[in-house]
Structure 1
Amino acid sequence: MRSRSVLALTVAATAALLLAGCTSSSESDPTATTANNGGLCAAAADSGPVSESVTVEGEFGEIPTASFSTPIAVDALQRTVAITGDGTALTDGAYVSYALTVFDGDTGAQVDAAGYDAAEPLAPIPVAAGTGIDEFFGCATVGSRIVLAVPGQGETAAQVYVLDVLEVTPADQWCQVVDPDTAMPTVTFDENGAPTIAIPDSGPPSGVVVDVLTEGDGAVVEPGDSVTVNYTGVKWSDGTVFDSSWEKGSPATFQTTQVVSGFQRALEGQKVGSTVLVSMSPLCGYGEASVTNTSALAGETLVFVVEIISSQPAAG
């Protein structure tokens, strides 16, 4: 079982992927990411005497050792960059691949390590301003090693994290649309225009696949635009409908930057009046299932039919 510390990063990242109350109280609403707010560098936790006192040994990308005076006492997160990498820097909304080793603040003993084995990587997570995960990573560069002194929580003692930043994928390069590598669902519409989505017998496609069913003649949806849409979503695994604005009786309105990556890719670049079909793998939707991500949609490939009703340019 993963310790609280490894889970803490996953929980913060999951918060950036799950519903933030944008348009609906439904857990399955596609409006599921936090809007970009900037300021990752400023959001990083300050260095402090405890994090600065930790001596870390071992090669970057391999499980390190850490020595420090125990027990540690820390009231707020402290963050010290032990190694400054020369790779790509994190920007708001970018996805980071990382490895993490955790040490008990009372005894100094290692209690967990994850992400170092290429065969068992930790899932990349989004680092968005205002989600809490920004305090851990800030605007770190690939190749950086970060030491964190983390306050205790409940009966769990304070801990020391050693965090290696392995890879960064900018937000605009994450979950790009690709050609299908398997059969796509078929769609039929009733007399009211509501879709029925039929899942093929084949396995789901990889990544994000978008098929324009009907092309509109309105304005092109740009990143950050506020859109009003009708949508129906089904799970590839069993074809069941998990959410539908058509069934609710009213369309949804949100910014394109406030939805999961796969849904965002289905909207931006399309014309108002279009109806599109999109399939998205778990990492481009609600994430992989884990002990911290227990959403009913975690680990699911999702399929949406989206009717783009209107679009308003982003403010500014």
Structure 2
Amino acid sequence: MRIRTAATAAAAVLGLSLLSACGQPTPAAPEATGTGAGTGAATSAPADTPNALAAVTATGPVDFKTAPKVDLGRTPISTTSIQRRVLTPGTGSEATREDTVRIRALIYNGTSGKLLDDGYGKGRADEGYRLGRTDLLAGFTEGLVGSQQGSRVAFTIPPAKGFGASGNAQLGVGATDTIVVVADVSEVHRGLTQLEGTGSPSPEGFPKVEFADGNAKAPTVTIPKADAPKKTREATLIEGDGPVVKEGQFIAAHYHGVLWKDGSVFDSSWERGAAADFPIGIGAVIPGWDDTLVGKKVGSRVLLVIPPKDGYGEQGNPNGGISGTDTLVFVVDILDAY
């Protein structure tokens, strides 16, 4: 179902700009100060830097409006593990893998000191990341674990936790380059891991949905003996009481998809064992999702019946075994919106 997976992480370093700006390029930005900044990527891996962030400073208020003035100290900065330093303490609980954080960040190439992504750039706002996601660079989510609301943190992402031996030439990250992130954390919150309750029965004419093994496992969906509807239909089986999903947000959800024609499963986050995250309302998923999930509340379970025109169209989705005439049925549990 998701059309953005590992590529999400490669978009403008860690997915920080292309998704939030709907594919618009990030404007040019100045480099950080520091001895050796702007000297270009090294041809071989520099030695690991002990206490690599000891000289890093970021002056200015943590007000999520004003970009801090960052000095990386001495470059190149190179680490073989994630190093982390709190520049400004925050308050509240420390973020875990189960939490979602909202941040504004400045991201640098630690070898050259060049600014790769400016989260304070024109038109940008704080951006949310569920730390349990697997479609972002591992070092990015790991570096944010432990952060508190209102804090400013700096952390490194070594190649093994970033783009690996191939680097990312488009973003200006070489195979041996360590990435340095300076992030202001505006929010830490915990989404749902699963819904509570059994929900309402499906309305007449809809597929029947049964969660015989509880909400942590995939449901069984039984298709009625009738022709598929020509228009998208939706039914809310559990009405959540969380925030309303807004256009342009990411949502975290468990979902289960079957074909109307035979009830066969073509995709299921429950069966994969991990919730999925994707932007909603901006054309990143099929129209049948964009048109129905915006406006729902976190904590809701939604049953969708989606004809081809609101699904994958006449071309279908051969990789998923979906033809151009297939009507899709989804059960979607909305766990978070950020």
TM-score range (shorter-chain normalised) is: 0.3 to 0.5
Higher relative contact order (CA 8 A, sep 6+): 1
